[in-house]
Amino acid sequence: MRTALASLVTGVLLLMPVPASAAASLPATAGPSATALIAGTADPLATALDRVLADGRLSGATVAVDVRDTAGTVLYQRDAGRRVLPASNQKLLTAAAALEVLGPGYRFRTTVRARGGDLHLQGTGDPTMTYARYDRLAAAVARGATRRFPGRLIADDTWFDRVPLGLDWSWEDEPYGYSAPVSALTFAANDRFDAAAVELRYRGVAGGRPVLTVWPPGAGVRLLDRTVTGATDTVTAVRAHGTGTIVVAGSVPAGRQGAALVSVPDPAATAARLFRAALRRHGVTVSGRTIKGSTPPDARVLTAQTSPPLTEILPSFLKLSNNGHAELLVKAMSRASVPTRPGSWPTGLTAAVTALRRLGVDTRLLTMGDGSGLSRRNWLTARQVTTLLLAARRRPWFPAFHAALPLAGDPDPMIGGTLRNRLRGTAAAGNLRAKTGTLTGVDALSGYLTDAGGRRLVFAAVVNGSPAPATAVLDGLAVALAQSGTRAVTTRARWVQPRVS
């Protein structure tokens, strides 16, 4: 009788679901999933994911995966508690923190003020200030009572500190648009709101040299043209370090068009150039030179431009993985948390971590070196990411956050984003909404999807140190999740340390 009773109790234990709280205490493993069954029928989800992650392209890599349902029940884990570099999955944390600290309706503001003959252009980090919006700002000044200013144009970027680049960003990245300087007075190259960068546009011409143009015009950069018309598109555009000279080289076929983003060395100075040119177009004269400085408190407001609310900026930020937006939001969070001091990375990141802790993320293993994921001082766990994704579902801003994530396989850049060319024709297409992440040696994919049984899942998958790009493997994981769902609950008896071969 005692033996029969023990067998019955053991059988009941084998069928118990794994609660999130229990799973959170499981140790990290380097081998097969920690949620594998030790008795009974193998879990089909764990079997499928273990098969995907057995790919030779992951040989020697650290693979961190956490999969849960929306109740928080752990369905699959592999090294979910191990600290990994997130690359642009860091933007999930920054976006959620900004929505908490700044609020969904937060707007940046660019203001024009006047005092003693000087005209002040005062920024607060608005990444949506395009050429057209600077033109509208100038037109509003022209409609005012004064069209001649005998003093100077003063570019005020003091809302943030003047540390333009992340302290451990690679110096090799400095010329490129994805690593542009961060400034409170900035501008956008295009309607995708690529901040502090110009768009170098090129077009191949039959029987002649390629045509090069810079947008926005009047940005103050100089082109050194070494391009030729050729059979393939090999054009590169690199700004010489510490200068405004862009070296454009390579070939482009006749009739072919393309573009490259190149950062500018001083966004505030470029923004002031664009504004001065716009004033001139509208008949407004500023006689003095352009300098940098702060705006006196008693300067009279002439006009202002406000950005769309944060919820409307999120799609450009998350779908297109815009690094500049992340860092501007970090410094905006700094200014919001300590209004009397210029926005900075240290204060903004502290505010972000505090907000994430309030959302229920265990921040003891979290290190934030920046907001975008460029820094290699960012460390987090897959478990922290899924905890955040679950917590986001309970916040009033979740619909905007969810909609701002790339939708797998949709070719529209403002819908599919960084997933627009991935997962087409699979069960994840039109289903998966997730943030991608890529650095040298790092691939990540984390987000939401619905499986074949209608169960809503959240997951985080981060690969560090793989000898080959792991994008295809992570796509396979997403497809396996989307195709799963024949069983509503993953069951297991107890955790066992898998053998490491």
Q: What is the pLDDT along the chain (501 residues), one digit of tens a residue?
A: 444 444 433 443 333 444 443 444 443 344 555 554 333 446 899 999 999 999 999 999 999 999 999 999 999 999 999 999 999 999 999 999 999 999 999 999 999 999 999 999 999 999 999 999 999 999 999 999 999 999 999 999 999 999 999 988 998 899 999 999 999 999 999 999 999 999 999 999 999 999 999 999 999 999 999 999 999 999 999 999 889 999 999 999 999 999 999 999 999 999 999 999 999 999 999 999 999 999 999 999 999 999 999 999 999 999 999 999 999 999 999 999 999 999 999 999 999 999 999 999 999 999 999 999 999 999 999 999 999 999 999 999 999 999 999 999 999 999 999 999 999 999 999 999 999 999 999 999 999 999 999 999 999 999 999 999 999 999 999 999 999 985 433 333 223 233 332
179 in active site: no
State the pairing for strand pair 148-149/245-252: unpaired
CA distance 234 to 126: 33
Taken in order 180, 181, 182, 188, the sign of the CA dihedral is: negative
Does residue 64 contact residue 77 with C-beta atoms inside 8 Å? no
Beta-carbon-side half-sphere exposure of residue 447 (alpha carbons within 13 Å):
33
Strand, helix or coil for residue 436: strand
- 183, 263, 316, 321: the catalytic one is 321
CA distances from 257 to 207, 237, 495 (A): 16, 14, 57
Q: What are the two backbone dihedrals, phi and then psi, of residue 440, each rounded to the nearest 5 degrees?
A: -60, 120
Neighbours of 358 (CB within 10 A): 13
Answering whether pTM is above 0.75, one says yes
CA distance 215 to 219: 8
220 is written with which tokens? 């103050």
- 33, 91, 331, 337: the catalytic one is 91
Taken in order 291, 297, 299, 303, the sign of the CA dihedral is: positive
33 in active site: no
Nearest to 99 by CA among 495, 459, 396, 438: 396
Choosing among 3.30.2390.10, 3.40.710.10, 3.30.465.10, 3.40.50.1370, the CATH entry for 20-101+314-483 is 3.40.710.10
Give the H or E element holding residue 482: helix 471-483
Confidence at residue 412, expressed as pLDDT on a 0 to 100 scale: 97
Confidence at residue 93, expressed as pLDDT on a 0 to 100 scale: 98
Nearest to 78 by CA among 478, 481, 460, 349: 460
Q: CB burial class (10 A; 0-12, 13-18, 19+) of residue 120? A: buried
Does residue 77 contact residue 361 with C-beta atoms inside 8 Å? no
Confidence at residue 362, expressed as pLDDT on a 0 to 100 scale: 96
CA distance 495 to 331: 43
Confidence at residue 4, expressed as pLDDT on a 0 to 100 scale: 44
Does residue 423 contact residue 475 with C-beta atoms inside 8 Å? yes
Does residue 409 contact residue 428 with C-beta atoms inside 8 Å? yes
What's the chain's length in residues? 501
Radius of gyration from C-alpha coordinates of the chain: 26
CA distance 95 to 319: 12
What are the residue ranges of helices labelled H in 282-322? Answer: 310-314
Distance of CA 470 to the CA centre of its chain: 19
Strand, helix or coil for residue 64: strand
Query: What are the strands, taking DSSP E only, across 36-142?
Result: 62-69, 74-78, 109-115, 118-122
Does residue 480 contact residue 428 with C-beta atoms inside 8 Å? no
91 in active site: yes
Confidence at residue 5, expressed as pLDDT on a 0 to 100 scale: 40
Does residue 228 contact residue 251 with C-beta atoms inside 8 Å? yes
270 is written with which tokens? 């470029």
CA distance 334 to 343: 5
In the chain, list all ranges with CATH 3.40.710.10. 20-101+314-483
436 pairs with which residues across the strands? 445
- 33, 88, 307, 484: the catalytic one is 88
Taken in order 350, 354, 360, 362, the sign of the CA dihedral is: positive
Token pair 């309706």 is found at: 105
